[in-house]
Amino acid sequence: MPKYLKIWLASARYSITRTLMFRFDFFLWATVELLWMAVNLLLIAVIYEHTDSIAGWKKYEMMLLVGTSLLVQRFLMGFFWSSLFEMGRNIKSGAFDFFLAQPGNILFMASTRKLDLDGLLNSFVAMGVIAYSANQLGLQPSALDLLLYAAMIFCGLIIHYSMLVITISLAFWLTSAQGIESSYFTLSEFSRLPRAAFKGVASVVFVWLLPVVVVSNAPAEVLLRGFQPNWVLALLAATIAWFVAALIIFHRGLRRYASASS
């Protein structure tokens, strides 16, 4: 662990230095992400001008849910997004050889090489939305609730990471994974909807098979209604299952990789 922490810190220093070299690019993308988050919140405000609840969720409960979803996505963007999408391009070009020669776990080296500071910066905005919504609802979570919420956010991040690894790993088999990569954006949109809004087949697909709804609903439920064992166990089981699946698919794909020298 100390070895990998040193490697990650070195990558983080490189990313920060590179970002400071291109400050305008950093501020531009940070602003774009901020505006995208603002549009999501504005949409909620507009909808709740015409209704009191959606699937039983009041305005600030929905804002807390959306803030939770945005927080997980901002962490994903900040810590893994650029590295994983670059990995897909490197697999097709043969530049993935660079990671095979690294003195460490290949997936770790390939998926943690870059940080996106704009995504990490906007994670504080998402935290502000969550805190504001909790204040408007009069919530007073205990230290245990906050700790559990943080742990569930981490589990949600691992699930999103695993799903993205599986998506990018398809580049080992396909000529181009660009269309499949884009589908991830569509799936992530469902994480901002309450669990009660999904019925029938939609519930099976987006809650149980592809737990994009659980990753945001489970932590939000902890703040709103306290500890709920069913949500915690469902999220933990999904985290383990998706992470194991990501490792298996990545390493099977790795055996099919044809390097630039072959």
| pLDDT tens sequence across 108-130 | 988 988 888 888 888 999 999 99
Predicted TM-score (pTM) of the model is 0.88
- With respect to residue 75, please indicate whether it lies within any of the assigned structural domains: yes
Mean pLDDT, residues 136-154 taken together: 91
Structural domain span for residue 154:
2-255
Dist CA 177 CA 120 (whole Å)? 26
Q: Do 259 and 100 meet the contact criterion of CB atoms below 8 Å apart?
A: yes
Q: Which of 219, 32, 214, 212 is nearest to 116 (CA)?
A: 32
33 domain residue, yes or no: yes
pLDDT at residue 261, rounded to an integer: 55
User: Is pLDDT of 226 > 90?
Assistant: no
**pLDDT (0 to 100) of residue 242:** 94
Does residue 260 lie within any of the structural domains?
no
> Coil, strand or helix: which one is 57?
strand
In a domain, 262, yes or no: no
Average pLDDT on 210-235 reads 85
> Could you tell me if residue 234 is inside a domain?
yes
Q: In the predicted model, is pLDDT for residue 260 greater than 60?
A: no
Q: How many domains does the chain have?
A: 1
- Per-residue pLDDT, 92: 79
Q: Is the dihedral of CA 190, 196, 199, 201 positive or negative?
A: positive
Lowest mean pLDDT among 80-89, 172-181, 196-205: 172-181
User: Does the structure show a pLDDT above 90 at 149?
Assistant: yes
Determine, yes or no, domain membership for 126: yes
Q: Is 261 part of a structural domain of the chain?
A: no
Is the confidence at residue 152, as pLDDT, over 90? yes
pLDDT bin (cut points 50, 70, 90) of residue 27 is confident
The mean pLDDT value of the chain amounts to 85
53: amino acid identity, one letter: S
How much is the pLDDT for 177?
A: 59
Higher local confidence (pLDDT), 176 or 132: 132
- Name which of 37-51, 102-116, 192-206, 224-238 the model is least confident about: 192-206
Q: How many CA atoms lie within 13 A of 229 on its CB side?
A: 0
Task: Give the three-state DSSP class for 54.
Answer: strand
Asked if 224 and 137 count as a contact pair (C-beta separation under 8 A), the reply is: yes
Q: How many Cβ atoms are within 10 Å of 125's Cβ, its own excluded?
A: 19
- Closest to 238 (Cα-Cα) out of 218, 217, 211: 211
146 part of a folded domain? yes
* Burial annotation 92-116 (CB, 10 A radius, 16+ → b, else e): eeeebeebeeeeeebbebbbbbbbb
Categorize the per-residue pLDDT at 178 as very low, low, confident or very high, splitting at 50, 70 and 90. Answer: low
